[in-house]
Amino acid sequence: MEKKELETIWDSQKEQLRLESDLDLNLNRMKQILGPEHSFDIVYRVVEIGEKNACIIFVDGFCKDELMQKILQYLMDLKAEDMPEDMHGISKKLIPYVEVDLGKTWDQLIQSLLSGQFLILIDGYDTGLLIDSRTYPARDVSEPEKEKSLRGSKDGFVETIIFNTALIRRRIRSPLLRMEMMNAGTISKTDIAICYMDDRVDHKLLCQIKNRIQNIRVEALSMNQESLAECLYEGKWFNPFPKFKYTERPDAAAAHVLEGNIIIFVDNSPSAMIIPVSIYDMIEEADDYYFPPITGTYLRFSRSIIGLLTYLLTPVFLLFTMYPQWLPPWLSFIAIADEVNIPVLFQFLILELSLDGLKLAAVNTPNMLSTPLSVMSGIVLGEFAVKSGWFNSEVMLYMAFVAIANYTQSNYELGYALKFMRLITLILTGIFGVWGFIGGIIFCVFAVVSNRTIAGKGYISPSSVHGKSRLWRRFIRTKQKVQP
């Protein structure tokens, strides 16, 4: 069969293309589809099982060699009279292993094989035997760098989806916890796991999510969860406030599952996607619950107030700079005392861009050079920048507070949403004065209020799966409820 003809058959009939009972035909088709002569990691070997020709196929690096050696040693010692009539009998009587599956279509067999399973084809059988003996390269389950906590657990999600689901199972030992496996991407076939509590989830939303995943028509989820998020939510792209929450902490993900939310894992991604979420979920952190209620409430309030200050501080200072007569006498010390060479608005905009440049430089800087970079950036953007006349010391002070305070938000997307709103308010204030300041605040409030979660509910709605929860519980850290 010509290669072009095979590709046409494979593209149009791969879901119906079935295995043949002739081993030679199956081997030829396997070679044309997988091209083992061009891929060194596609390994196959023809052996004899029960006095019948058989072929073992696997991806090098995915299979447990010692386990497969023991299974093959047992199978190759079989006699003809020991062989059952069908592959189901072989899997039931002759395979001393737990995770065994059968496949009759090439689409299923190839997808399972490339996922790391071990495939056995036997002459005279029109069914393939799949043994899930795969093992993936994986790093340690260590605490995530971004979401550290003082008292919480020190484990975190990794890039292997099975490890991640096991971390949730370890925390929720309930028969109502569901883990559904799906995949997306016509080429990549990326594994996607949907985790939820069957008695607490919104089943209407769950059906919508599963239907959207099934109807995704892309070649690959090249950016893992972000690619999936863009496929799941087709709303207005210009609203920067996030519709999804990501976490690398298993305890935080388990808490959201128990609240009735849906957790989505994407293979090769070390974080969990949480849906649906409101703005109250965005400002929560694990430490809010690892301390007593009064301490957790204080942490949540301080985080909210600091987040509000990062948005309002520089526009308010710019407004007072434009209208110094509005400054009360007890705040006169905040006025700019030195000569202003560059308009304050442009100073703020330049510093906003410079700080983002420093963040990008820090991300791409090797660890051994991070200290020299910090020293140089501190000198250049600190003392020398003020002495040269480019920036005033008051502007540097407030921008330094904004840059540091922005890290109190554990959610990157929310931090950048506040940054975009601050820039818009700054520009409007610099152009239109007090009316621009008011317009910027109205625009920010409208962006928050008009935003919708993936479930279609309001972004500031305090509703939950179990009904309307009191708004104050979203701000006040309450005590753990004890069941009667």
DSSP 3-state of 40: coil
Closest CA to 443 of 458, 426, 461, 459: 426
Domain boundaries, position 431? 293-449
Mean pLDDT score, 1-12: 50
330 plus 262 within the same structural domain: no
Answer whether residue 145 is part of any domain.
no
State how far the Cα of 50 lies from the Cα of 120, in Å rounded to an integer: 13
- What DSSP string describes 256-296? HHHTT-EEEEETT-SSEEEES--HHHHT--GGGTSS-HHHH
Q: What is the pLDDT of residue 373?
A: 64
Answer whether residue 461 is part of any domain.
no
DSSP 3-state of 182: strand
Q: Are 228 and 263 in contact (CB under 8 A)?
A: no
Q: Tell me how crowded residue 429 is: count the other CB atoms within 10 A of its CB.
A: 27
Answer whether residue 455 is part of any domain.
no
Buried-exposed string 447-460: b where 16+ CB fall within 10 A, e elsewhere = beeebbbbbeeebe
166 plus 200 within the same structural domain: yes
Packed helices 434-449 and 293-322: angle between N→C axes, nearest 10 degrees: 150
68 plus 115 within the same structural domain: yes
Q: What percent of the chain has pLDDT over 90?
A: 27
Query: Which one of 277, 304, 335 terminates a domain?
Result: 277
State how far the Cα of 155 lies from the Cα of 167, in Å rounded to an integer: 9
166-177 confidence digits (pLDDT tens):
999 999 999 999
Strand order in the sheet with 100-103: 42-49, 52-59, 118-122, 128-131, 100-103
326 plus 247 within the same structural domain: no
Answer whether residue 29 is part of any domain.
yes
229 plus 319 within the same structural domain: no
| Number of independent structural domains in the chain | 3
260 plus 298 within the same structural domain: no
pLDDT category at 467 given cuts 50, 70, 90 is very low
Q: What is the pLDDT of residue 421?
A: 94
Residue linked to tokens 């979660």? 453
118 plus 180 within the same structural domain: no
346-396 confidence digits (pLDDT tens):
989 988 888 888 787 777 777 766 666 665 666 666 666 777 777 888 888
Average of per-residue pLDDT values in the chain = 84
Q: What is the pLDDT of residue 121?
A: 93
pLDDT at 403 over 90: no
Q: Is 0.95 surpassed by the pTM of this model? A: no
339 plus 298 within the same structural domain: yes
End-to-end CA distance of the chain: 71
Q: What is the pLDDT of residue 168?
A: 94
437 plus 304 within the same structural domain: yes
Query: Which one of 221, 245, 277 terminates a domain?
Result: 277
pLDDT category at 333 given cuts 50, 70, 90 is confident
Answer whether residue 141 is part of any domain.
no
Q: What is the pLDDT of residue 211?
A: 93
Q: What percent of the chain has pLDDT over 70?
A: 88
49 plus 119 within the same structural domain: yes
Amino acid at 230: E
Answer whether residue 234 is part of any domain.
yes
Q: What is the pLDDT of residue 286?
A: 83
User: Degrees (nearest 5) of the Cα angle 157, 176, 233?
Assistant: 55
208 plus 351 within the same structural domain: no
Q: Are 477 and 300 in contact (CB under 8 A)?
A: yes
Q: What is the pLDDT of residue 357?
A: 81
Answer whether residue 206 is part of any domain.
yes
Query: Which one of 219, 253, 277 terminates a domain?
Result: 277
- What DSSP string describes 443-460? HHHHHHHS-B-TTS-BTT
386 plus 238 within the same structural domain: no
Answer whether residue 468 is part of any domain.
no
93-149 confidence digits (pLDDT tens):
888 888 899 988 888 899 889 888 999 999 989 899 999 888 777 777 788 877 888
pLDDT at 443 over 50: yes
Mean pLDDT score, 290-304: 87
Look at the chain and count its residues. 484
Which segment, 298-307, 405-414, 435-444, 454-463, is predicted with the most confidence on average?
435-444
Mean pLDDT score, 31-40: 87
